[in-house]
Structure 1
Amino acid sequence: MPVAWPSRANPRLLVELQYLLHRHIISSVIPAALLALLVVWTLDDASNPWPLRLWGVAVIASKLFSAWVGRQQLRRGVPLEDARRNVLWLIVLNAIDGAVWGGLAWVTLGSSTLTGSILVVSVIGGIAGSSMSSLSPVFPAFVAFLVCLLAALASKLWTLGDPAYDALGVAGVLYAASLLGQSRNSAEAARQAITLRFENVELIERLRQETTYAQAQRQAAEQANVAKSRFLAAASHDLRQPIHAQGLFLGVLGRSALSGPQAEALANARATWQASAEMLDTLLDFSRIEAGVVEPQRRAFALQPLLHKLELELAPQADAKGLVYRSIDTEAVVNSDPSLLELVLRNLVSNAIRYTEQGGVLVGCRRRTDHWLLEVWDTGVGIPASQHQAIFLEFHQLGNAERDRRKGLGLGLAIAQGLARALGHPLSLASRPGQGSVFRLTLPQASAALGMAAEDGWAALPEGEDFEVDTALNNVRVLVIDDDETVRAGMRQMLTGWACLCDTAESIEEALALARVRPPGLVISDYRLRGHRTGAEAIAALRAELGDTLPALLVTGDTDPARLREAHDSGVALLHKPVSPAQLHQRMQGVLRAAAQAATPPVT
């Protein structure tokens, strides 16, 4: 690539090349001065010493002046607009320096001995060679130096009229041509090195800017995610309160004498309530995963009862869409948390039914060497390979731009993956658009004996509203703490219908005042109370007043991960709104039973 001097060169590049040349000149001052003094001392002729000595002074003065100019420009910097003009000054300065060094030939040749003439020619040749390396960054400056140096030498040799000197002049021209070629290559190398440095600096700066931008984007995304979580938590809490109260009132109505049309209307209202509760429970499941409060309770159990249970519950949804739902019987015994595994499988099967329009859904289990593969097959729309990772993101749905609520919230697969990760069960996907999908869950194998021993422990909280209220809760005084008047009214009617004695309070102070007059046998408190107080604080205050064995339940509508961790860490039994009457009844019985067993002295 040709060296562009000086009109087409980049001003920034010219400035850097000038700085490099000035540093070279400054470092060459002392060697050049010592060489000039050595030449003067060696060739000094007592008969006519002044021309040689004046030459020595001129050489040293020229080098010192060039060095001073260089120091000034290095210290002050060269403005970009002055870069090309400075190149012209360097050409002039180095042309003068070359003429001064070439003047040695006029001072000494023809009057010195043969040895002195050899020394002069050698000095001039050496100076030309050393100047090539120091001046090549600014190629025109070296050209000016070399032309003036050789012009002075050649003109002197021409005047001597000796063929030997003529041959020496021709050799000098060839030597100069060689130096020009080397200097051009050196100039190009310096230019490329500085250009590369510019590119690296620009790349580093661009990388720094992009890193800063990426960090800003990441912080913005994190802030948006936090804001999203807070919004969802607040919205979920505010929605759970009326839906929770609605469930309580529906439970009270369900135990009333109703006509046929009234019972049908109540059934429809319950179905609507159940649909709303399921959506809120989906948000809760996702929030529990985010909060890290999911603690698997692994044990060995047979998988077939779970498959049978899900088929009974979900097959009607497939039938309603004209799909075939089938689960293959299996003898698999796995080591997992049955409740969490049920939730994972429920989300996978529900997702398969939701996105399959014809064909069917198949659930089966394959044995491998030391594990089982639980698979959910469907003949649905399929998932493009580019979306295999995205579909596990929260609120991400394919083919639901209109956000049809019948297709869910887009959290099912995110919950399934989060729970599978918490359980340590790898979840994978294989799919082809238009042909369907298969989700595979890897489950650790357990012995059949352990599975049979654990199978009796398979149970779940009742989900229906029609259950028998026994006498276990008769005359139990229950203190309900909730800052929502509607919830307190619903709880009072529900508990009174169960033959409980019910007191309600909206604050910790009111609860303490009631407890001192009528000590409760059970406390049910909402987690979030007014004044940034919590139900955990209320229960702690009541236990400090009435004893640490006071049975208690926490009920929360919060889905904020931090609040969920706080409630989980309180150590008090926890229910999540909306709570069905059946769930509340069973949990109250469990808490009272556990308190009674703890109070019974051991038999010795």
Structure 2
Amino acid sequence: MRPAAGVWLARPGTARRAEGLIRAEQMRLLLGNMGSSLLPTIAVASLLLYTLATPANVAGLRLWCGAVIGSKCFGCWDARRILRGRIGPWRAYRLERWMLALTAIDGAAWGALAWTGFDPTSTANSILVVAVLSGIVGNAMSMLSPVLSVFAIFCVFELGALALKAWSLDDLPFRTLSLAVVVYFLSLLSQGRNSARAARAAIQLKFDNIGLIRQLRIESDRARQALHAAEQANLAKSRFLAAASHDLRQPIHAQGLFLEVLARSPLNDKQRTVLASARAASEASADMLHTLLDFSRIEAGVIEPQIEAFALQPLLAKLESELAPQANAKGLVYRTRDSGLALCSDRSLLELIVRNLVTNAVRYTEQGGVLVACRRRGAHAVLEVWDSGIGIAPEQQEEVFREFHQLGNPERDRQKGLGLGLSIARGLAQLLGHALTVASRPGRGSVFRLAVPLASMPALSSPTSPALLALDAPARGALPQRVLVIDDDAIVRVSMQQLLAGWGCDCQVADGIETALTLAHTWRPDMIISDYRLREQRTGAEAIATLRAQAGTPIAALLITGDTAPARLREARASGVPLLHKPTSPEQLYRSMELACAQRSPTFVHGRGRGTPTAEPVLHPQGTDPSAAPSLLDPAA
């Protein structure tokens, strides 16, 4: 693609090349016009030969006719030859000189009519010759004016010959005709200049448009490349987070289980104090990992809201009882305005949104307080979380909803979280179709508003969701007697075996599917607990399905994973096996084992008690995960 002339002119040292580009287009336009005049030239020259021929001038007119037709034929052939090649900027100047020579010959050939066919004694002859030569030069303007110099040289030779012939007759009328021809020539030259300027402007506009299109393509390519790079960076970030999260979850999961085993051991007061500190550190690490898990679940699109009508006040009371101590510890006032409204939403997901908003308010407020209120606005209730904190600048009010974006935390203090709370809140609000907005003034505080549809029916009287009821249904103590644990991490196998043994289970461990199959031939398990990602690209879902097929019975099973990659979450969900996420608390593991046994075997009998049959529980808003405590994406938290 040729660059725009305007682009060349804008660069030092390229003005001549830019002019050459324009001149090349002018020459291309001129040469393209040459063929249109061939047939008219042959017709007019032949007609004039027939009309003007007399015994005295027939030889000269024949020579003139042959010269005119020959000149025109050669010019058309040469134009087609040149157009088949490339007309570059530097060739254009040479072509212009060549066309000046050819056009001068063509003009002289036509002008020779005034000397060979002009009869001053015949008025009709004089009028015909003058009219034809005037018409030919007028027609030439439309063909030759793209290059003004070429048109001018044609006029000089053609009209010059006519003017000289008229002046040479030494008669006043003819000398007046000669002066009129000169005036006509100047008039044509002026019009030709205007036509040449218009052609040049059109060529310039063409180049400018080409340049703009080229620039647009370049910018589009850059935008596509930037988008691709951003997508790749986002994928790399997700893969890194998933890999880092998985690798961190393994030891923290095992640590939590070992701490539970240690807590059941005889310890003195000093050792129990150290154990409590170790548990607090482990829980803090687990909290951050569960926040990453919540974010990954939203990205994976595996959260399915369970919409219901419920009263708002129990949710507000619960949040105040749990979060007010955090505000009090910082010397803040935590207030909640009572509300009698009933909402239509997912109770657990709405609680997580408001919890994140309140936690964020407490985190970024150093004096004053936090207010949680709800107002009726038409068919919606607007939940508001006010704070008197540091506030948010206008240009940052959308950025705060971006993942890992934090204000006033350049040192990445873990006590200020990971910068995912508001991102999770916005993602869940979009999933539920609730509008989440913020208004703020730096140094004065902020207010986050969440618009939730009002319930069109009475709210459920109990604040406990069906998921929570399902999790609480089994009786304590209904654990399987034989448990097979499959995990490729040795420390996790040891911690699980010790914990389950402490719960009275006969636990065997395997590091892969083949080992598990060999063990199950002679030792049939009542439950399988498998890590989701095993060696050699195999999965826990595959292991459970294989063991069930070998046993010929639907053995109770749980999947445990440290993966947070969206694709893995979707795969695990599709397996239909309840999914726990590392680090899993011992309490959560215990209750999930109860549930899995109860839903698999209504008459399951353990040596220490009998379970209670239940309908298949809703373990998680996604329908798959009861384990993310203390994340509120898990109703059991």
> Which runs of 5 or more residues in structure 1 are unaligned?
none
Per-residue deviation, 1:448 = 5.8
The answer for the alignment partner of 1:553 in structure 2 is 558
Task: Find the aligned partners of 2:580 and 2:69 in 1 and give their Cα distance.
Answer: 95
Q: Give the residue type in structure 1 aligned to 2:499.
A: M
Shift of 1:447: 4.2
| Greater displacement, 588-597 / 230-239 | 588-597
What secondary structure does 1:446 align onto?
coil
Give the direction of change, closer, same or farther, for the CA distance of 1:24–1:45 in structure 2 (3 Å limit). Answer: same
Alpha-carbon displacement from aligned partner over 1:543-597 (angstroms, at most 9, x marks no partner): 1122443111111110111111110110001111100111111111111222233
Question: How far apart are residue 65 of structure 1 and its match?
Answer: 2.2
User: Structure 1's 489 and 469: CA in aligned 2 closer, same or farther, altered over 3 A?
Assistant: farther
The equivalent of 1:31 in structure 2 is 40
Q: Is the 8 A contact 1:462 1:583 kept in 2?
A: no
| CA 1:227–1:422: 2 relative to 1, 3 Å | same
In structure 2, what is the equivalent of residue 591 of structure 1?
596
Deviations 1:141-166 (A, max 9, x none): 11111122221111111122232223
* Matched letter for residue 471 of structure 1: G
Give the corresponding residue for 1:349: 358
TM-score relative to the length of structure 1: 0.93
Q: Give the C-alpha shift of residue 417 in structure 1.
A: 1.2
Q: CA deviation at 1:309?
A: 1.5
Q: 1:540 corresponds to which letter in structure 2? A: A
Q: Does 1:570 align with 2:571?
A: no
2:249 corresponding residue in structure 1? 240
Structure 2 vs 1, CA of residues 370 and 9 (structure 1 numbering), >3 Å: closer, same or farther?
Answer: closer
* Range 164-173 or range 529-538, more displaced: 164-173
Q: Which residue of 1 aligns with 2:384?
A: 375
Runs of 4+ in 1 over 4 A off after TM superposition: 6-9, 458-463, 598-602
1:222 partnered with 2:231: yes
Q: CA deviation at 1:461?
A: 9.9
Q: Indicate the SS of the match to 2:55.
A: coil
Give the structure 2 partner of residue 312 of structure 1. Answer: 321
C-alpha displacement at 1:364, in angstroms? Answer: 1.1
CA distance in 2, matches of 1:205, 1:7: 21
The code of the aligned residue for 1:495 comes to L
Q: How does 1:101-500 map to 2 (within 5 A)?
A: 101-110=110-119, 113-447=122-456, 449-452=458-461, 454-457=462-465, 470-473=476-479, 476-500=481-505
Q: Which amino acid is the alignment partner of residue 587 of structure 1?
A: S
Are the structure 2 counterparts of residues 309 and 91 from structure 1 closer, same or farther at C-alpha, using a change threshold of 3 Å? same
Cα distance in 2 for residues equivalent to 1:230 and 1:19? 57
Q: Distance in 1 between matches of 2:346 and 2:298?
A: 15
Give CA-to-partner distance per residue, 1:3-50, whole Å, 9 cap, x none: x9x989700110110011111112212211211111111111123311
Tell me, what secondary structure is at the counterpart of 1:42? helix
In structure 2, list runs of 5 or more residues that go unmatched: 1-8, 10-14, 605-611, 615-637
Contact preservation (8 Å) 1:102, 1:124: yes
Using the size of structure 2 for normalisation, the TM-score is 0.88
* Contact 1:102/1:149, CA 8 A, preserved across alignment: yes
Verify the 8 A CA contact 1:11 1:84 in the aligned structure 2: yes
Q: Please give the alpha-carbon distance, in whole angstroms, between the structure 2 residues aligned to 1:458 and 1:7.
A: 81
How far apart, CA to CA, are the structure 2 residues paired with 1:116 and 1:65? 29
> Does the 8 Å contact 2:315/2:463 carry over to 1?
no
Query: Is the CA contact 2:353–2:428 (under 8 Å) kept in the aligned structure 1?
Result: yes
Q: Aligned match of 2:61 in 52, 56, 73?
A: 52
The residue type paired with residue 258 of structure 1 is L
- Structure-2 change in CA distance of 1:211 and 1:324 (3 Å): same
SS in structure 2 of the partner of residue 301 of structure 1: strand
Structure 1 residues 60-97: Cα deviation after superposition (integer angstroms, max 9, x where no partner) = 12212222221222112234223223222222222222
Partner amino acid, structure 2, of 1:477:
R
Q: SS state of the match for residue 391, structure 2?
A: coil
CA contact (8 A) 1:247 1:580 kept: yes
Distance (Å, rounded) in 2 between the aligned partners of 1:444 and 1:18: 72
Q: Which moved more, 1:7-16 or 1:546-555?
A: 7-16
Aligned counterparts of 2:588 and 2:129: Cα–Cα separation in 1: 111
Seen in structure 2, the aligned counterparts of structure 1 residues 72 and 331 have a Cα distance that, compared at 3 Å, is same
8 Å CA contact 1:157, 1:169 repeated in 2: yes
- Partner residue of 2:546? 541
Matching residue of 1:84 = 93
Q: Secondary structure at the match of 2:335?
A: strand
Contact 1:110/1:160, CA 8 A, preserved across alignment: no
Greater CA drift, 90-99 or 490-499: 90-99
The answer for the alignment partner of 1:502 in structure 2 is 507
- Any idea what SS the aligned residue of 2:602 has? helix
Contact 1:461 1:583 in 2 (8 A): no
The answer to whether residue 107 in structure 2 is matched with residue 98 in structure 1 is yes
In structure 1, distance between residues paired with 2:437 and 2:112: 86
For residue 558 of structure 2, give the secondary structure of its aligned residue in structure 1: strand
Instruction: Give the residue type in structure 1 aligned to 2:547.
Output: L
Q: Secondary structure of the residue that 2:124 maps to in structure 1?
A: helix
Greater shift, 150-159 or 68-77, is seen at 68-77
User: Are the aligned partners of 1:14 and 1:84 in contact in 2 as well (CA < 8 Å)?
Assistant: yes
CA deviations on 1:233-268 (whole Å, 9 max, x unpaired) are 111001000000011011122223322222211111
Read off the aligned partner of 2:485 and give its amino acid letter. V
How far 1:302 sits from its partner (Å)? Answer: 1.3
Hey, what's the Cα distance between the residues in 2 that align with 1:366 and 1:72?
Answer: 83
- Shift in Å at residue 178 of structure 1? 2.1
Task: Report deviation, 1:111.
Answer: 5.0
The one-letter code of the counterpart of 1:594 is Q
Q: What is the CA RMSD across the aligned residues, in angstroms?
A: 2.4
| SS state at 2:350 partner | helix
Rate the CA distance shift 1:431–1:259 in 2: closer, same or farther, 3 A.
same
Q: Please give the alpha-carbon distance, in whole angstroms, between the structure 2 residues aligned to 1:522 and 1:138.
A: 93
Shift of 1:189: 0.9
> Which SS does the other structure have where 2:458 is aligned?
helix
Determine helix, strand or coil for the equivalent of 1:346. helix
Distance in 2 between residues matched to 1:547 and 1:331, nearest whole Å: 54
Post-superposition shift, 1:370?
Answer: 0.9
Distance 1:7 1:554, change over 3 A: closer
Q: CA deviation at 1:476?
A: 1.9
In structure 2, what is the equivalent of residue 10 of structure 1? 19
Q: Matches of 1:112 and 1:18 in 2, distance apart? A: 43
Contact 2:57 2:117 in 1 (8 A): no
Quick check: 220-229 or 184-193, which moved more? 220-229
Q: Report the AA paired with residue 520 of structure 1.
A: P
Report the 3-state secondary structure (helix = DSSP H, G, I; strand = E; otherwise coil) of the residue aligned with 1:178. helix
Q: Return the match for 1:512 from 509, 517, 529.
A: 517
